[in-house]
Amino acid sequence: MTGESEYTPPRVWQWNKENGGQFAHINRPIAGPTHDHALPVGKHPLQLYSLATPNGVKVTVMLEELLALGHSGAEYDAWLIKIREGEQFGSGFVDINPNSKIPALADHSTPTPTRVFESGAILLYLAEKFGAFLPVDPARRAEALNWLFWQMGSAPYLGGGFGHFYAYAPFKIEYPIDRFTMEVKRQLDVLDRHLADHQFMAGEEYSIADMAIWPWYGNLIAGGLYNDSATFLEAHTYTHVHRWQQEIWARPAVKRGRKVNRVVGKPADQLHERHDASDFDLKTQDKIEAAE
Ligand SMILES: N[C@@H](CCC(=O)N[C@@H](CS)C(=O)NCC(=O)O)C(=O)O
């Protein structure tokens, strides 16, 4: 094995602010706000504070799917939280998510605003509020929740484990890359075997389980995560995951939701903030840049 380390942990760990990782400037070993900053509140019942990472996309896809079904109560303002600039540590954001991570939602349609954080909790909250994208039959509901919580437990190995050491760490170390690649390939095989005889994660019904899993594993398989990781992982071999990823990608609400709070990629795919359905036609970055 290459990359063996001579590092011996000291008796008590010290915070080394210069560890060189891509996110070193925002990582801290303590919680809580770093500065005072009130969050903006728009005109709609639901206020989302987010960024189009896979965790953020889960929620904007759900909101666009709810609106496509005709649930006008799902109208939302999506505000951009620039996590690389530390905006998740502003006092207003920490008030609605003490964990300082996007996505976070405030529901202003309740007698006092209801805060909801953790993407899985947000998906479940919205599914129950609108009675949509979560099967009613107890056995099928249990299956949707199985996969929703599978995603919450599994994706940190993909993002914080594989993605971090394969793409973001300041130098490549074989041991963690090997360990997390093994686990991610195992997870892809779990999905592939399940999707071999199920149209969607919970069976025949598209649900919040698909919305949670697709932005991570669908994106990974389509080559959208961590440089050339799809080649490294031999993503093309997971044929049933491919079929499912393409079926979901064909949905107009998914295409819209993926653009919200996006700040990278093609300008036509970036809608930095979403306050109205017409913003998809009028306020993507290509339109804004053309008007400047
Ligand atoms: N389990 C959380 C994870 C959220 C999360 O990790 N968000 C990342 C972006 S994908 C974030 O806000 N990172 C900022 C930070 O760690 O300071 C969820 O599913 O909502």
Q: Render pLDDT for 216-250 as a digit per residue (tens, 0 to 9).
A: 999 999 999 999 999 999 999 999 999 999 999 99
For residue 5, pLDDT over 80 is answered with no
Considering the four listed CATH numbers 3.40.50.300, 1.10.357.10, 1.20.1050.10, 2.60.120.560, the one that applies to the domain covering 138-256 is 1.20.1050.10
- Residues ≥6 apart with Cβ < 8 Å to 91: 33, 35, 36, 37, 38
CA of 80 to the centre of ligand 1 (A): 14
CA of 117 to the centre of ligand 1 (A): 10
What residue ranges in 36-97 does DSSP mark as E strands? 46-50, 76-80
For residue 69, pLDDT over 90 is answered with yes
Q: Which atom of ligand 1 is nearest the CA belonging to 102?
A: 12
CA of 13 to the centre of ligand 1 (A): 24
| Other Cβ atoms closer than 10 A to 53 | 18
Which protein residues are within 6 Å of ligand 1, measured from CB?
26, 53, 55, 83, 88, 100-103, 118-119
- Residue range 99-106: mean pLDDT, rounded: 98
**CA dihedral in degrees (277, 279, 282, 284; nearest 10)?**
-140
- Residues ≥6 apart with Cβ < 8 Å to 12: none
Buried b (16+ CB within 10 A) or exposed e, 59-76: bbbbbbbbbeeebeebbb
Q: Tell the residue number behind the tokens 């979403």, with chain if given.
A: 274
- Residue range 57-64: mean pLDDT, rounded: 98
The alpha carbon of residue 130 and the mean position of all alpha carbons in its chain are separated, in whole angstroms, by 21
Confidence of residue 20 (pLDDT cuts 50, 70, 90): low
Length of the chain: 292
- Residue range 93-101: mean pLDDT, rounded: 98
- Residue range 9-32: mean pLDDT, rounded: 83
Q: Which of 48, 55, 97, 214 to mutate to test the pocket of ligand 1 (most atoms within 8 A of CB)?
A: 55
Residue with the smallest CA separation from ligand 1 atom 5 is: 101
The strand pairing partners of 76, in sequence order, are 46
Residue with the smallest CA separation from ligand 1 atom 1 is: 118
Confidence of residue 68 (pLDDT cuts 50, 70, 90): very high
Write down the pTM of the prediction. Answer: 0.96
| Residue 174: φ, ψ to 5° | -60, -40
- Judged by DSSP in three states, 257 sits in helix
CA of 101 to the centre of ligand 1 (A): 4
Q: Which atom of ligand 1 is nearest the CA belonging to 51?
A: 9
CA of 292 to the centre of ligand 1 (A): 33
The strand pairing partners of 200, in sequence order, are 203
